[in-house]
Every structure is written in structure tokens, then in C-alpha cells.
Chains A and B, each alone.
Chain A
Amino acid sequence: MRSEYCDGIDRRGFLRMGSVAGLSLAQLLRLQQTHGVEGTGKKDVSCIFIFIIGGMAHQDMWDPKPEAPAEIRGDFRPIDTKVPGIQVSDLLPRIAGVTDKLAILRSLTHGDPDHTAGYHVMMTGQHPGFGGNFNRNVLNNNMHPSFGSMVANLGGSSGTLPPYISVPNFLNSGGPSFLGPSYAPFVIEADPAAPEFSVRDIVLPEGVTSDRSLRRQTALRAINHLEHRVDALSRQERSLDTYYEKAYQLMTSAAAKQAFEIDRESPETRDAYGMTSVGQCCLLARRLVEAGCRFVSIENGHWDTHRKNSESLRDLLVPPLDQGVSALLNDLDERGQLDSTLVVLTTEFGRSPRINEMAGRDHWPQAFSIVMAGGGLKRGLTIGATDKQAASVIDRPITPSDMAATLLTALGINPDLTLHTPLGRPVQLAGGGRAVHELFV
């Protein structure tokens, strides 16, 4: 399908001609040198993507406003951190000790206060257009591929682990959309903090040796593919076929299986991260990335504090996160892996400046904070600013598409790449967002 504007310029070419999403030419050239050929993906930067479900109260954690009136500033005080000039709330003492390893982006904004839409926009960089067959209960419910699926598709493979893994369950809007089932995540439906944690069915059952398994697999391939050419399979069969392929790769990789065995870590290490869901998920993610997974998405739930916001944050929600994420950054740094691992801490939206009558905060998509660390990005800085009440962005607004462009660029993927929907419509990977150039050297 060729389409030209009346002055003869090829439209596809027009899209490609734009600069790589906001970076200067010098920055782009430097990236291409260090990160490899444009679009093929730097092979050695992976992503650990931690999604806080419900909406992180940005003013109570990352963007404190001690001068605001009491009903706005909340119950927490800012504390100094390792980086002079950067303050976080006193809920995050351990994070305060690693601010030199991360960047706080305080000017995220997107305007969608609905959870479902919020997941979608922060997991894919695009607002969903609801209607059609959107069904939040179905795995491949996305209007646009999630970042993990993009990375699985474009980031190049590194080994036998699935390139995109989710733990401890499938994340909303974490699906591959039109990229197809190959790029859906492998989901570990279990909590790594649980004593009996294991990933089911990835080893051969008793009584079946690897030789025998090979005979079986050969026979299976023959029966499914020889008699029927693969393209004569129905769409449903082809979908399942994709999963069989992936499953086979996983079960035949010793390194991959070992990566799941979190009890190979010392008790000291496990305690350093904290024996909590988010802590152990972070530790497992580190192992998975070491073993070749390109994108691990972690979900931590129940942050939708419409009631008893301060109490919930202080007593339940923040301490495990504070411990887990700081341990992760320290661990990655000690192992020399911080530059090759992008850690993103994100959420649907922030929370309202005004505390409501149930001592809670409501949704606030106009201004909120996320954190990006590692992956070769600049560290020890904050980007963007909000007003006195953390209610609106007054400096350097960052949209989810911008965040998408940043994430993709850090992973060596061109955010302006054009994909095509099944209808043939061209779609830009990062929806036209521009990478936050302040994060790149």
C-alpha cells in the first residue's frame, strides 16, 4: 500500500525522516555507536519494570510539598538523600540512600483517571480507544503492544529464557496486541516469597529422560507440522503452536530453569531484598535478567488508597517497596549490572493533592512521578517539576509516549519505528513521543 502526499513524498519515508524522538544528532550518533544498528536493539540492556497497581501517591513519596497546607501535604516530611538537593519523603529512607543511582521524573502527565485506561497508557505509551472487542478479562486485550511485547519483538533474543516474563501474575494491558501471541509474556503465577515457590511443569516428569523426551518431541513436530503445513493450521492452532515452541525452548534450557530457582540465593541476599512479594520479585527479576530475559514486569498491588492513605502507605505498602527496590539497585550496582539493566518504577497515575473525607487521596493523572534507574541513563537527578501542591506540571511535562520513547531508546530500539495493524494502518511504536534527552549523556 503506497501512499503519497501531493508533493510526491512517500509517507512511510516521511515518518522515518523525523529525528529519533527528541535526541540531538550527536546524542543519536553516540547511541548508535554504543548501542548497535538503529532498530535492531542493543543486546545487553534489559528492563525490570515494576508497576505499582492503584496509583502511587507521588506527593507522599517522590515529590514532597512541605510548604503546602496540611490537607494537601499529608502526614510525611521530606528527608535529604544521598544526592544533595534531592529530597524524598520520610517513607523512603533506604531509597534515600540510593538516589545517586536513579532519576525521579516528577512531571508525568496524561489526563486519564480511569484505572483500566491508566494501565493501558502506562504499559504501552498509548491511550486505548475503547470499543470494539476490548475485554479486560482477556489476555491479549491491548490496543497497542505493551513495552515488554515490543522488546520481545524488536529487542533481539538472548538465550532460551522467554524474552518477556511477568511475575507474580499477568499485568493488565501487558499483552502483545497485534504483534501476536509470540510476544505475550510468560507468566509466573506464583509469589517468589512463598516457601514452596516453583515454576510448574518446566522440568520433565519422573520416568522421562531427555533422550525419551527428544523422541517424543520429534514425533510431535512431525504429527503437527508434517501432515498439515503450518499455514493450513487455523488461527487458533497457530496461536497454541507458538506457545508450544516457546515452552519447548524453556524446558530444554538448564540455564533458564536455574534462573527460576530463587532458593539458590543465599538467605542473606533474600533478606536484604525483604521476604515480601515485591522484594522477592525484584530478586527473581535480577536472576531472570542475568539469565537472558530482556523484560521482566512485576506487579505490586493495592495502592489505590482512596481511604486511609497515610496509614496504608506507612504501615503496609511503602516499606517493602523501599527495601526491595533499593536492594535491587545496590545489588545490580555491586554486580556491575546497573548500566545494562534499566529499572522502571511506574504506576497508572498519581493521587489527588487534597486529602478527602476518608483520609484518602483520589486519582490524579495530571501530574505524578515515576522513577528510572540504570540502563546507562543519567543518575542522581530529578526531571521536571510540579506546582506548590503537586497538582500540575509547571516544568518539562513528560507524556507516557515520551516515557515510552525513553525506555525504548535506552534499550536500543528506535521509538519511531513504524508497525502495522492487521488493517494495514501504520502505527508508531512510541506514538510520536520524544525521549527525555536530559537522561542521556
Chain B
Amino acid sequence: MDSVSFVVVKSFLNHITSALYGLSWVCVFIVGRIAAEEPLRLHEIHVEPALVQLGGTNRVQQLLITGVREDGRTIDVTHLSRIESGDPAIARAEGGMLFGVSDGEGTLHVSCAGQELDVPVQVRQISGYPPVDFANDMLPLLSKLGCNSGGCHGKSNHASGFKLSVFGFDPAADFDALVKDDRGRRVFPGSPEFSLFLRKATGVMPHGGGRRLPIDSADYHLMLAWVRQGTPIAQADSPGLVRLSVSPVDRVLEANTRQQILATAHYSDGSVRDVTSAAGYSTNAPLVAEVDRTGVVRTGLVPGEAVIGVHYMGQVASVQLQLPRSSGYVPFEFPATNAIDELVRSKLEKIQLVPSDLADDATFQRRLWLDTIGTLPSPAEVRLFLADSAVDKRAQGIDKLLERPEYADYWALVWADILLVDRQKLGERGAYELHHWLRRQFATNRRYDEWVSELITATGNSGTNGPVNLFRAAETPEELARTVSQAFLGVRMECAQCHHHPFEKWSQDDFYGLAGYFNGLERKAIAPNRVFVYHAGLKESRIPFSNKLVAVRPLDGVAVTAFDGDPRRELARWLVAADNPWFAKLAANRLWKHFLGRGLVEPEDDLRSTNPATNEPLLALLSQSLIDHDFDLKALMRFILNSRTYQLASATNSSNQDDEQNFSHHYVRRLSAEVLLDAISQATGEPENFPGRPRGTRAIELWDNRLPSYFLEIFGRPERTSPCECGRTSEPTMSQALHLMNAPEVETKISSADGRAAQLVKSGVETEVLVDELCLATLGRFPRESELQIAQQLFKTAPPQQAAEDFLWTLLNSYDFLFVK
């Protein structure tokens, strides 16, 4: 366990002359172990930037000071170093940053743990303000200070009437809002300090948003300079922002440490600006690493990986961080069954996680059945598999499962969640048709790229042509753009519909370019709840409100100009092409998540540069494999299911018990609502009676997601109003526990005269055999010694029928039943 203590260092005395300048920083030591007080020893230190140039529009420079420790580890010492300006009249150091004071050349003295470095500093044109460019200089401030956030002036009907574009995506409108609107009352060129927007922002006048910046701050002075200069909108030679770079790009960190990030904006004229304190930061794994507004990352005790997304004025960059586990690592054996295992193993080695052992046959079988076909193996099936002595019985078992009829039912259910098959929206006919079409695609193992193409180009009568109903589930071009993008590309475009996507590069042009494919869709009502859908031909696509014309084109793709017939065919071609960066990747990620419990990218349908996979080579492998096998989904499933990684036990060891990202052991998951209901029906031998359905209909066969069912509701059945699997929840609740324990419906099943318990008792078999059967039927394995004893205790204290029911009740409420282990 690490701990930190702060001690004043003796070497401070070595810098007596500089003490006269009253610095705020002292050198500190980090202690790596609880008891020992080992002083920090560095081999070297580096400072970024190597040359500090202040002036013009780069007036403050964050420093990034990196040390190489005696043990070879690279660490951030930005906030541990002593930073002294050799010429405070030229530049002032404070809090890890350097502020320009007056023009000249100077030196920065950086020291830490015995290492010293001098960094040259150049300050030019610092006095007075350079010509302020509204888009480059003012707009970022409106974001940084929160003025244009969605809760304040970024909202569409702010009560004050002062409206800014959210995330600053419309500089021209924002300029007008500040300078021209409302009779120009927000700025006061005659006496700039009295400008209304400045007085409100500094809290001098009552402001609903409070005080956003102090009067003395650098940001305030910039805004004041802008007004003094006559509120220029742009400068003739203003460069444009071309990219954002960050440092470090990746780093292995230790527990309980800090890491400063440096963010630099690059402009078209080659100039750069430090934007560390103006950029926005986010983490995709707050348990592992948190980040604050100054770009400082903090780690705690939880090992794993985190990606810090950095964004500034529409540009994004990311920092990849790894926290290996600090203890319990021993070299391990992980004989690879296939290429998946090679890549998983190298990741485990890198992050120092010891994987668990292989799961035993019974565990593997139950898991395989539930994951592949949503069905429990029967006692007979379990006996058969356990007794089979073939060396490749697991591989054979996989092949057999993929051919079972339940496969089509189960995977239709999974995809119906994603494809908005909501009976409430589509009506019975529409939901039925779309669901059954999906089922046929899986029953025939049709190529994924083919059925997706058919789906998005569907034309015809919604009462007979299932896939046409997608265009009833999502009606407007905007909804269709969002749906297709999230369901098949894993690109979440919602934000880009109204403004520039805050964390990615997508703009409104991209969004409406994609939506344009669906612009000419016509829906003619032909009967109640039935429409005829067809595409009338390419129409122009305009962004609402601004009415700006955009080219109809796919993401990062070439515009469709003249086109004969249904432009959706072009979209389909682009979508399923082997070089589409997202299509195969998303499908592979979905399947990986389904079987392994967590996507390589999480959320599974949120692929973006600031949210990389925890194992990029593995995702690439799976994605390419799908393409190489002609988009055969079963082939990819076979690949995953046969890997050692999939077949690991869920029991953890001391090294991997906290791992939730790297597949060092199998992640336990609760059975989903329909699968659980079916499992209870099957185990008790008493089927569920769904209203209006033939007796014996299974929950995984249901095409009506709104069929009244208290059980399905409380166990998280989705409403299918979003094109994702996120509507389905497996969060535990007290209602679930109460229901499993006390529901009359469950008791009826358990005690049914035709049910499994009653039949077993009637058959007169010995208790041991009865207990075996009940365990095989519920847990997919023979009872442990302790479980047999628990059962025998029940048989000792009650008549056999009751005891059998009680034991069955116990099994149905046990975690080995409710979870896939």
C-alpha cells in the first residue's frame, strides 16, 4: 500500500539567491512504501515545451515536467518540482505555469530530487494585446467559462434573451449576440470596463450564473482588450485551428499519483498555443483515473485502464493510461487455443494480471447453452456432455449448439432490442413481421452484410415486408440517421444533430449529410397500421434553421451527386464495404460483449477515437475475421467460443479479483428477463401461459415486447425506444428478490402436479437420484456434497412432495441458477 508524506527538503538551502524572489513551490518527496522514507531519486528530468515562447496569443504556458526515476519508471513531477524564473521581470512562474510579464529573453530553472534543468524563455509582444480574433480567442473563453453551456446561455430560450451557440459551433451568431443584438447593449465601447457582459461575468452586476471570472484574471483582460480594440470579429491574417495535440500520449501510472496533461492547439500558420487550462477533459473510467479542469489526472487504488479525452474548440485528442496491479503477479501459463488467446495473453502480461483456470465441463456447458441459445441444457444433455470422453467435445458442443433451432429465436430477440421492434410503435402486424424476418436471417445464417443491406434499403408493404418496419420505427431522416449510425456503425450522432459533437469530430454537415439519404422516403398509408414505404429519389439535404445546403454523403465519405433510383443502395454499399472503418468492428464488438460480458469498447456502440478498445489488436483481429469469413456471424461466434479466454472460470484469484476490463476471468452475469423466465419454466417443468399465445410458447420466442408480464418488467425487459441494448437492465432490486421468493406464480409452477418435482416424486426414485435430477435441471451439474446434505435435511423434516418442492425452490433462488457463471 502506498502512502504520501510531504517533507521540506534540505536542498532548498542551495537556492538562497532565488529565495529572494519569494517562490511558492517547495521540492517534495514521494514515499513509495508505508514505513520506509526513501527520498525520490531521479536519473533525469525533461521539460515540455523545451523552449517557452510567450507573447501574442500564447500568454500562459503550462509546463510538463517529467522525471525518470532511479528504477527506470517515467513519472510526472510537474507539481513536485521547484520552478524558478531566472528573470521574473520577464516571466513569472506560479503553480506549474509560466506567465509572460514583459518582452525579453530569460531562463527558467527547474529542479527536482537533485536533477536540474534550465529552460530558455522568450517573451515577445506581451504588452498590450495582440489583435483579438473572435473565433480563435473569444469563443474558447465562452466555452471555458461555461457561458455557452446547455444549461445557461447555450440553451435555446434563455430567459435573459442572450443566446449563444452551445459549444461555440456558430461563431457568427455568437458575435452578433454579443455585439449587435438587443441594440448592442452588451458591450460599451466608450468605456469598456462597463460593458454589460463583463460586469455580469465578473459578478459586479447580479448575474444568474454568478461570478464566472475574477476582474484581475488573464481571461478578463483578454475580453477587455477585445472590446477596447473595437470588438473585431476576425483578423485578416488569423490562422485557423487545425489540430490539438496532448502530452503524454500514453503512460503507465502507479496507484495514488498525479499526472499533468499538456494540451497544445496548432494553427494553420504553424503557431501553437498552450490550451491546457482552456480544454475540456473527460475520463472513460472514473474508478481508475479522474481528471480535473486543469488537466491533472489522479489515480487511486483500482488498477486498470483509462482514456482521458481532451477537447478544445472542436478538436479532440486522447491520453491512454494504464495502472498495472501492484501485487500478486506471478508468471503464468496460458496455452492459446487460437489467435484471440495470444492477444489476450500479451495484454494480461503487460498489465500484470494472472488469469484464472479453465472452467470445468459442467460450467462451460451451461454457459455455452445460455450464451448461444438462451436455453438451459436438460438433465439428459448434461449427463451426455459430462460422460463424453472425446478430446474435442467442447468444440463439437459449440458446433452443435449453433445448429439448434433455438439459435434463431434467441438472436432475433437480441437484435430486436437494437432494431426498435416495439409493438407499441409498430403495431402487432409490423412488430410480428419485422421480428420474424429477423428470425429467418438467423435461421438461415444469412450473411450479416446482406441482411443489413436488405434492411436499410427495404421497400414495400409493412404488413408483409418485415424490414420496411424499420422506417416506421424511425420516421424522420434525423431519426434514421441516428438509428443506422448507432446500430450499425457504433457512431453516436445525436449531439451532432444540433451542433458540433462535443467529444468527436462530427459536425452538423456530417449529420445532415447522412440523414440526406433518407430524405426522399415516402410512406403511403394503405390500411390501418400499414404503410407502403418507398424512396422517391435523392432530395437535397438542408440543416434546419440555417437552411444551409449540405452534400448527401456518408461519414468521412464522398458526396452523392446525381443518383438514379434509391440512394439508400449507395449508403448500403458504403456501409458494408470491407474498408468501412466501423461496420465489422461494431458487429465484432457486440458479439464479444455478448459472450464475454464486456465489450472491447464500452459502451459497445460508442466507437470513437477518444474511447479506444482495451485491446485494439484484438478488436482488429475479430473485425478482420468477420470480413474474411464473408460476414458469417456463426463463424465469428465459433472463433470466440473456442478460445481459452471464453472458457475461463469465473472464480478469481488474488491477482485478478478487481479486473473488469481485461478478461482475466469470466465475468458473471445475471440471466436476462426472458431467458430467466424460460429457465424457471423449464426447470419446474411448467410452461408459462402468455396471453393469446399457444401453451408452451417460450419467452425468447415472443415478438411482442409489451405483452403484459410483471416478471419480464421487473427483470428488465426493454421498451425498445432506443437503437441499442442499453434499454435492457440487469440491476438487482428488492422486487426481484421478493418475486422469486414469494410470487404465487412461481409457487404454482414449483408445485404443479405435472411439474418436474411432482413427477420425480411420483416416479418413486431414491432421494439421491431426485436431488441429482433437480440440480441437473437447474444448475446444469451434479450436486456438491454439501448441497446433497442440504436436500437430505429437507427430506428428513417434511413429506417427499413438499421436500422436493422446497429443494427446487431453493435451487431457483440460488445464485448458481440466477447467474451465468
> Is there contact, CB below 8 Å, between B786 and A251?
no
> Is there contact, CB below 8 Å, between A247 and B741?
yes
A73 to B4, CA, bound (A): 58
B residues in contact with A248, CB < 8 Å: 737, 741
Q: Mark A176-203, 1 if CB is under 8 A from B, else 0.
A: 0000010010110100000000001111
Q: Mark B155-168, 1 if CB is under 8 A from A, else 0.
A: 10101000000000
> Is there contact, CB below 8 Å, between B814 and A224?
yes
> Is there contact, CB below 8 Å, between B670 and A240?
yes
Which residues of A226-270 have CB atoms within 8 Å of chain B's CB atoms? 226-228, 232-234, 236-237, 239-244, 246-248, 250-251
Which residues of B193-227 have CB atoms within 8 Å of chain A's CB atoms? 206, 208-210
* A133-B742 contact, Cβ under 8 Å, with A236-B670, A246-B737, A425-B300: no
* A14 beta carbon closer than 8 Å to chain B: no
Q: How far is the CB of A169 from chain B (nearest CB, A)?
A: 12
* A219 beta carbon closer than 8 Å to chain B: yes
> Is there contact, CB below 8 Å, between A364 and B159?
yes
Q: How far is the CB of A384 from chain B (nearest CB, A)?
A: 16
> Is there contact, CB below 8 Å, between A423 and B290?
yes
Q: How far is the CB of A139 from chain B (nearest CB, A)?
A: 5
A residues in contact with B818, CB < 8 Å: 240
Which residues of A98-153 have CB atoms within 8 Å of chain B's CB atoms? 111-114, 117, 131-133, 135, 137-140
Nearest CB to that of B670 among chain A residues? A236
Which of B157, B650, B669, B739 contacts A201, CB < 8 Å?
B739
* A114-B150 contact, Cβ under 8 Å, with A206-B744, A226-B786, A354-B159: yes
> Is there contact, CB below 8 Å, between B286 and A132?
yes
Which residues of B419-457 have CB atoms within 8 Å of chain A's CB atoms? none
A251 to B735, CA, bound (A): 11
Q: Which of A3, A362, A365, A423 has the most CB of B within 10 A?
A: A423
> Is there contact, CB below 8 Å, between B668 and A113?
no
* A1-B3 contact, Cβ under 8 Å, with A111-B208, A207-B747, A215-B797: yes
* B16 beta carbon closer than 8 Å to chain A: no
Q: How far is the CB of A141 from chain B (nearest CB, A)?
A: 10
* A131-B283 contact, Cβ under 8 Å, with A6-B26, A215-B798, A244-B737: yes
> Is there contact, CB below 8 Å, between B159 and A352?
yes
> Is there contact, CB below 8 Å, between A138 and B283?
no
Q: How far is the CB of B431 from chain A (nearest CB, A)?
A: 22
Interface size class of chain B, counting residues whose CB lies under 8 Å from the partner chain: 35 or more
> Is there contact, CB below 8 Å, between B744 and A251?
no
> Is there contact, CB below 8 Å, between A200 and B738?
yes
A residues in contact with B284, CB < 8 Å: 132
Which of B282, B748, B806 contacts A216, CB < 8 Å?
B806
Nearest CB to that of A228 among chain B residues? B815
Nearest CB to that of B7 among chain A residues? A6
B residues in contact with A138, CB < 8 Å: 729, 731
Q: How far is the CB of B170 from chain A (nearest CB, A)?
A: 21
B residues in contact with A227, CB < 8 Å: 784, 786-787
A residues in contact with B802, CB < 8 Å: 212
A354 to B160, CA, bound (A): 10
A residues in contact with B300, CB < 8 Å: 422-425
> Is there contact, CB below 8 Å, between B6 and A139?
no
> Is there contact, CB below 8 Å, between B733 and A139?
yes
* B651 beta carbon closer than 8 Å to chain A: yes
* B790 beta carbon closer than 8 Å to chain A: yes
> Is there contact, CB below 8 Å, between A234 and B819?
yes
A404 to B733, CA, bound (A): 26
* B546 beta carbon closer than 8 Å to chain A: no
Nearest CB to that of A233 among chain B residues? B815
* B710 beta carbon closer than 8 Å to chain A: yes
> Is there contact, CB below 8 Å, between A205 and B743?
yes
Q: How far is the CB of A365 from chain B (nearest CB, A)?
A: 8
A434 to B742, CA, bound (A): 45
> Is there contact, CB below 8 Å, between A187 and B286?
no
Nearest CB to that of A239 among chain B residues? B732
B residues in contact with A356, CB < 8 Å: 157
A residues in contact with B726, CB < 8 Å: 135, 137
* A2 beta carbon closer than 8 Å to chain B: yes
B residues in contact with A276, CB < 8 Å: none
Besides the known contacts A3-B4, A362-B157, 5 further A-B residue pairs in the complex with CB atoms under 8 A apart: A114-B150, A132-B286, A181-B732, A220-B810, A233-B815
Return 14 A-B CB contacts under 8 Å, by A number.
Answer: A2-B4, A131-B282, A140-B731, A203-B742, A205-B742, A216-B806, A227-B784, A234-B819, A236-B670, A240-B670, A247-B741, A353-B159, A354-B159, A423-B287
Chain B residues within CB distance 8 Å of chain A: 2-6, 8, 26, 150-152, 155, 157, 159, 206, 208-210, 256, 282-284, 286-287, 290, 298-302, 650-652, 667-670, 710, 726-727, 729-739, 741-744, 746-748, 751, 784, 786-787, 790-791, 793-794, 797-798, 802, 806-807, 809-811, 813-816, 818-819
